[in-house]
Amino acid sequence: MNKKYERLCDEMIQRQIVSRGITDPKVISAIRQVPRHLFVSEALMDQAYGDFPLPIGEQQTISQPYIVAEMTQSLALTPDDRVLEIGTGSGYQAAVLSRIAYRVYTIERLHSLYIKARKLFDKLQYHNIVTRYSDGTTGWKDEGAFDAVIVTAGAPEIPQVLVDQLAVGGRMVIPVGSRYSQELIKITKDRKGVRQTSLGGCRFVKLIGEHAWRES
């Protein structure tokens, strides 16, 4: 990474991520490896390491760095894990996951974002990310079950199909609530069933699809 962005990235990790309690060295190392400025338009590159989400076109956003770190840490990933992400967007979250997990399957419903993210993964040689252009609320049945599922858009409720595609021992994280504010819910599955805990409030763009919000 170029020196200027490397410094901005280090500052971001200290001020926004470590200081707020993210401790998993795998998460911190993954974030340090991914050049976040390449996931936004040229005009926004200097703001890429700031403490906020940024627009990525099509009225969508790249999540705030801390949220990416928190969601990634909550999945407790190991190097053997296969992860499903719904909402590729800029591709940044998938890129971070791919530095820890074995393989990342990521789905995006907007064609232009899907194409852009794909090209960037190629350029950065992130060969363990598999992309798909479709409605992610129905999951990716042929590739399941997954060790982890992450939904990076806000849902009105937890899509049961995604829980069904979670392996026993699997972890899932998803923002659930109204169009304007949600709660970040963590779901774990074991032999006895499924458990839910709340990680606190958050605000995401809408998850739109068969098992979520309707288009308009």
Q: Which positions touch ligand SAH (CB under 6 A)?
A: 60-63, 86-87, 89-90, 92-93, 107-110, 113, 135-137, 152-153, 205, 207-209, 212
Placement of tokens 């907007």 in the chain: 110
> Measured from the CB of residue 182, what is the shortest distance to ligand SAH in angstroms?
12
- Would you state the structure tokens that stand for residue 197, as one six-digit string? 């805990």
63 is a catalytic site residue: yes
Of 19, 63, 134, 216, the active-site residue reads: 63
For residues 8 and 152, which CB has a smaller minimum distance to ligand SAH in the complex? 152
Asked if 81 and 102 count as a contact pair (C-beta separation under 8 A), the reply is yes
Give 95 or 191: the residue with its C-beta nearer to ligand SAH.
95
CA 32, 121, 97 angle in degrees (round to 5)?
45
Give the shortest CB-108-to-ligand SAH separation in angstroms. 5
List CB contacts of 119: < 8 A, sequence separation 6 or more: none
Q: Which residue is nearest to ligand SAH (CB)?
A: 89
Q: Which is nearer to ligand SAH, 91 or 170 (CB)?
A: 91
DSSP 54-66: EEEETTEEEPPHH
Give phi and psi for 83, each to the nearest 5: -120, 135
Shortest distance in whole angstroms from residue 212 CB to ligand SAH: 6
Smallest separation (angstroms) from ligand SAH to the CB of 161: 11
Spatial distance between the Cα atoms of 125 and 182, rounded to a whole number of angstroms: 34
In the complex, the smallest distance separating the C-beta of residue 193 from ligand SAH, rounded to whole angstroms, is 26
CA distances from 46 to 29, 41, 130, 171, 175 (A): 21, 10, 29, 34, 28
Cβ closer to ligand SAH: 70 or 108? 108
Q: What angle do CA 85, 87, 90 make, to 5 degrees?
A: 105
Under a CB-based contact definition with an 8 Å cutoff, are residues 69 and 93 in contact? no
Task: Tell me whether residue 82 or residue 98 sits nearer to ligand SAH (CB atom).
Answer: 98
Q: Report, as residue numbers or ranges, the catalytic residues.
A: 63
